[in-house]
Amino acid sequence: MFIYLCKKIAIPGNVRLRCISWNKDQGFIACGGEDGLLKVLKLETQTDEAKIKGLAAPSNLSVNQTLEGHSGSVQVVTWNEQYQKLTTSDQNGLIIVWMLYKGAWYEEMINNRNKSVVRSMSWNADGKKICIVYEDGAVIVGSVDGNRIWGKDLKGTHLCHVAWSSDSKVLLFGMSNGEIHIYDNQGNFIVKMKLSCLVNVTGAFSIAGIHWYHGTEGYIEPDCPCLAVCYDNGRCQIMRDENDHNPVLIDTGMNVVCIQWNHCGSVLAVAGSLKTTSQDKDVNIVQFYTPFGEHLRTLKVPGKQISALSWEGSGLKIALAVDSYIYFANIRPDYKWGYCSNTVVYAYTRPDRPEYCVVFWDTKNNEKYVKYVKSLISITTYGDFCVLATKADENQPQYVLVLCNSIGTPLDPKYIDIGPLFVTMTKTHVIAASKEAFYVWQYRVAKKLTAMEFNQVARTRKEGRERIYHVDDTPSGSAGGHLDYSRAIEFQGTRDPICAITASDKMLLVGRESGTLQRYSLPSVGMVQKFTLNCHAYQLSLNCNSSRVAVIDLSGVLTFFDLDTRVVTSTGEQMVGEQLKLERKDVWDMKWAKDNPDLFAMMEKTRMYVFRNLDPEEPIQTSGYICNFEDLEIKSVLLDEILKNPEHPNKDYIINFEIRSLRDSRALIEKVGIEESSQFIEDNPHPRLWRLLAEAALQKLDLQTAEQAFVRCRDYQGIKFVKRLGNLQSESMKQAEVAAYFSRFEEAERMYLDMDRRDLAIGLRIKLGDWFRVLQLLKTGSGDSDDALLEQAHNAIGDYFADRQKWLNAVQYYVQGRNQERLAECYYMLEDYQGLENLANSLPENNKLLPDIAYMFVRVGMCEQAVSAFLKCNRPKDAVDTCVHLNQWDKAVELAKNHNMKEIGSLLARYASHLLEKNKIFDAIELYRKANYFFEAAKLMFKIADEESKKRTKPLRVKKLYVLSALLIEQCHEQIQNAQKGKVKGKSSEAASALAGLLEEDVLSSTNRFADNAWRGAEAYHFFILAQRQLYKGSVQAALKTALHLRDYEDIIPAVEIYSLLALCACANRAFDICSKAFVKLESLETLRPEQRQQYEDLALEIFTRHSPKSNKKSDLDDMLDSIDGKLPVCVATGDPILEQRFWMCSVCKHCMKPKEASSRSFCPLCHSTI
């Protein structure tokens, strides 16, 4: 930062000032002094024109009001910005609260304790509470409306200072003995503050000031120190909070009177006096420090004794009360900013975020890009790129250099172990320096590389693109240099630290605090020369051909050093380098011209000077920071104005200044003429002046002069344009082309239309990309070629809306432009799937857009529409894949069948496994059945039937499941036979066909126990149910006959069930021999538990003690037993053996029934097929 005194106001009557306070919001300045003096002043607010000049605007007073009310010396003045109130107090203890009414200040409230004097007053952060401390230890906390909240008398103490914490929960009371006590907001004592700055201090001391920055503008770093405590002996400590045991300690070495933070807590001003050895009297000075204790600047102030200071709300001015005067000093802050390719990059803090907000503001298009960067140290720019230096981690001493482009996209980060206090960059290198070492990084930006270049890059990477050197080393430049931090830092500092660096394509200059300037060659980094400057450099800057360096020192003195001049000293030695005679004071910014080594611009206080060959032109009033100096034009940015509202930068704050030769040439051309001007430009040649002449000649259609001028400024496009103009016959056509060349497009279009050349007007608008105007022009006429152009215009306007996400507007134009591809995209973005479906239906078959539309439907899960689109473009496989992807398996199988796809088997297997995973076995069976995979379906059905059978569910249900299984097996046999018949043609091969069918069935039967006799399960449960029905009906003999069949089905129905039923039927039929055999079987079953077996034995004993195990009705059962042995057919309706020659056989299950039974039934009792 740079600071200089700029204005002085005298208080009438030479009344000594005691206190001063600057209202941060409204800009009022209150100053109190002896004899009850209290004044409110206000500097003139800047007009728009003055704003453009920034601080250079005149600072006259717009308000100068004396407030009457105090009789004694006014000692305390404090503002309440939120409620626009001023609170003042004098030596008699009288407190007055003043309010603003119609632009003037009036008394609102008065309070006088009459016991003691007020030493300090402080409003809290939101302006709702005030804390007043009296010398005798009384504390009063009141509200903004004048009510007392609480009061307390701290006996035995003398108070002199008070401060609120930012959250209003803590109060600090400064005692006259130098102690600071911490209280809560209800007046309860918590603890004494630890004062590390007073260690080893002897003698009397008192508190000069306590200021706690409340974070209203954010913090420059997370966990930044913000509470400053300073003593009159010059000792100061800056703390993170009231309990910080590791504060930043400063010994200012001066007698301190007053301290205050600036508006954003980045600079602490410490005012007081310093004893000088040469003079007897004290010198008034203001020292400026960062929150981390680094000294920034010292401002010397004239007068006998400084009594108070106060910052302006923007931090750009400071008011100092000295004797009976108010001095104002302007401050030029060291903003974190840069300028690269029409983009201003600047950083600021916000109260709602811990990081820095870095804005990349494209001044050409007025667009901004925002990045949030933690612990930002600096911003450095060159060409199209920008380097952000940041701290990597709060706990580790590691730093990052992030290379960004002009919209803030990070391209390449580099981690380094030295603190980048100074950073400079060139077209190829970034150099960062700490106080003792510097790091050189040869950066590369991404571009498409050829194979040869790629190898080159690999080689340079191996050779080392990053190197580090200690400032005391003397590198030769031949060695590659290594990234060895330990080597560079092992000296642990240097006696002569680095204070500034700069670089160009050819060299690197490193300035040291002793005044030594070290020159290194680039890119090899070899020590070339050491020069001696007469100052401690603060900023170095090389001109465009690296022949001169400009040096601004700590006190703002600008000097120049010629690096190439060889001079002979008085001793006859030849030396390289010479200090130039030019010297300027109060300089805070300078910039060399990019295209002229003798041209530079500099900022001196509120004036900009341009120097040519060390001779100044007349100054320009401005406070802008210089961005760029090129083509005889200086681009300057008013950062002060931008940072007042950093979220909405205004293009008015970018100012272009023309230097005198450009202004003179322009005036000559306008007033004298082209020929005379060309002679002047010949004497003062510069490409920009020749271009100015060329443009003036073009305006007057002096093509010969224009061509010569374009040749002199090497503008090939300009030469080609002049040639093209020369070939045109019509004068008006030439004028129209010139108007277009100078971007006067409306005028050029009007000229074209006046010449009835609508085609040229349309061509001009197409070049400009103004398709809305193209559409208007096309609609005004008609022509054959217009249809294609109309389509093009509609599509271009559609693109315009689509780029801005205005899909509805885009659809209208794409429909007119028949751009089906973009139309599909718009429908998709609008989620108008009906429109998308209609578009797909309207497209011809095999259109290249159909697959894209189909995939859009797939992405939103619309299976039917996606399948339709895929089929329309003849991609059935994709359609099937879509169905599988969206779990529409039945559709997938159907499609695979319809299109005879080979992978239907694997597809079915996948679908079936998918269904089985979800335990949808019946769905899987249905799937196989529909797909004619009867055997797979039957296997699953048998599995279900077996499971149901084991569960002992309803026998009828189990029978139905077995019947279904058997029916599927029958369909499978039928399918095999039909397939064999279809394969074999000709009579002779019928036997072969049958044999093949049998062989195939053999394979089936060997794979499944049911395949050979599919109906066994159904038969078992059929007879099981039939026997019980007959028993309940009372047909005991029929029941016994049926039950006897069940002995063949022990593998299906549990044996205990079969023989229990058989024993029951036999007993009911008095066939005790069969009953006896059944009991024998039951008692021998291994599956029975002992108690069950005992029950059967007891029952058998009970039955057979009464009845002999012999049957009287043996003859009735002979036929039955014969049927079992001789395998007579059994009637499925009655369970009887069929003895007749004629009987009925079911066509489906091939089971028999007596004719008498068959005639009375409509369905087969076993399979329920129609008779």
Provide CB contacts within 8 A for 1171, sequence distance 6+.
1144, 1146, 1158, 1161, 1162, 1163, 1164
Residue 855's closest CA among 832, 830, 824? 824
- What local confidence, expressed as pLDDT, does residue 961 receive? 79
- State what percent of residues in the chain have pLDDT above 90: 33
Lowest-confidence segment of 257-261, 311-315, 762-766, 1048-1052 by average pLDDT: 1048-1052
Question: How does pLDDT run across 792-826, given as a tens digit for each residue?
Answer: 888 888 888 888 888 888 888 888 888 888 888 88
- What local confidence, expressed as pLDDT, does residue 9 receive? 92
- What local confidence, expressed as pLDDT, does residue 163 receive? 95
Provide CB contacts within 8 A for 738, sequence distance 6+.
698, 699, 701, 725
Q: How far apart are CA 69 and CA 662, in angstroms?
A: 60
Residue 457 binned pLDDT confidence (cut-offs 50, 70, 90): very low
Q: How far apart are CA 821 and CA 806, in angstroms?
A: 17
Question: How does pLDDT run across 489-522, given as a tens digit for each residue?
Answer: 555 678 889 999 999 999 999 999 999 999 999 8
Q: How far apart are CA 993 and CA 995, in angstroms?
A: 5
Q: How far apart are CA 696 and CA 683, in angstroms?
A: 18
- What local confidence, expressed as pLDDT, does residue 299 receive? 92
Q: CB of 198 within 8 A of CB of 250? A: no
- What local confidence, expressed as pLDDT, does residue 63 receive? 86
Q: How far apart are CA 113 and CA 666, in angstroms?
A: 73
Q: How far apart are CA 606 and CA 88, in angstroms?
A: 35
- What local confidence, expressed as pLDDT, does residue 479 receive? 60
1072: pLDDT strictly greater than 70: yes
Provide CB contacts within 8 A for 443, sequence distance 6+.
385, 403, 412, 428, 429, 430, 465
Residue 874 binned pLDDT confidence (cut-offs 50, 70, 90): confident
- What local confidence, expressed as pLDDT, does residue 1111 receive? 65
Query: Is 1151 buried (19+), middle (13-18) or exposed (0-12) by CB count in 10 A?
Result: buried
> H or E segment at 534?
none
Q: How far apart are CA 774 and CA 769, in angstroms?
A: 9
Joined together, the tokens standing for residue 963 give 């019947």
Edge-to-edge, what's the strand order for the sheet holding 625-630? 625-630, 633-637, 654-658
Joined together, the tokens standing for residue 1045 give 């069949």
Mean residue pLDDT across the chain: 84
777: pLDDT strictly greater than 70: yes
Residue 425 binned pLDDT confidence (cut-offs 50, 70, 90): very high
- What local confidence, expressed as pLDDT, does residue 988 receive? 45
Q: How many CA atoms lie within 13 A of 856 on its CB side?
A: 25
33: pLDDT strictly greater than 80: yes
Q: Report which listed range, 38-42, 733-737, 766-770, is most confident.
A: 38-42
> H or E segment at 124?
none
Range 1120-1124, long-range pairs (CB < 8 A, 24+ positions): 1120/1041, 1120/1044, 1124/1044, 1124/1045
The three-state DSSP-derived secondary structure of 132-153 is EEECCCEEEEEECCCCEEEEEE
Residue ranges with strand state E in 507-631:
507-512, 516-521, 527-532, 537-542, 548-553, 558-568, 574-584, 587-592, 599-604, 607-612, 615-616, 620-621, 625-630
Cα–Cα distance list, 120 to 27, 155, 269 (Å) = 22, 17, 19
Residue 970 binned pLDDT confidence (cut-offs 50, 70, 90): confident
- Is the model more confident about 197 or about 971? 197
Residue 1011 binned pLDDT confidence (cut-offs 50, 70, 90): low
Residue 950's closest CA among 1081, 1053, 1070? 1053
What is the average pLDDT across 592-607?
91
- What local confidence, expressed as pLDDT, does residue 743 receive? 83
170: pLDDT strictly greater than 60: yes
Question: How does pLDDT run across 132-141, given as a tens digit for each residue?
Answer: 999 999 999 9
Residue 488 binned pLDDT confidence (cut-offs 50, 70, 90): low
Within its chain, how far is the Cα of 702 from the centroid?
55
Q: How far apart are CA 534 and CA 521, in angstroms?
A: 23
What is the average pLDDT across 712-733?
86
| Helix, strand, coil fractions of the chain, as percent rounded to 5 | 35, 30, 35
- What local confidence, expressed as pLDDT, does residue 358 receive? 95
Question: How does pLDDT run across 50-81, given as a tens digit for each residue?
Answer: 555 665 555 688 889 999 999 889 999 999 99
889: pLDDT strictly greater than 80: no
Residue 901's closest CA among 931, 876, 926? 876
- What local confidence, expressed as pLDDT, does residue 53 receive? 60
What are the backbone angles phi and psi of residue 147, rounded to the nearest 5°?
A: -80, 145
Q: Report which listed range, 299-308, 984-993, 1109-1118, is most confident.
A: 299-308
Partners of residue 319 on adjacent β-strands: 310, 328
Q: CB of 677 within 8 A of CB of 696? A: yes
Q: CB of 550 within 8 A of CB of 603? A: no
Residue 905 binned pLDDT confidence (cut-offs 50, 70, 90): low
- What local confidence, expressed as pLDDT, does residue 220 receive? 84
Q: CB of 850 within 8 A of CB of 827? A: no
State the CB neighbour count (10 A cutoff) for residue 1072: 21
What is the average pLDDT across 1004-1019?
63
239: pLDDT strictly greater than 60: yes
882: pLDDT strictly greater than 80: yes
- Is the model more confident about 178 or about 896? 178
Residue pointed to by tokens 């490193």: 510
- What local confidence, expressed as pLDDT, does residue 74 receive? 94
Q: For strand 94-101 and strand 104-112, is the pairing parallel, antiparallel, or unpaired?
A: antiparallel
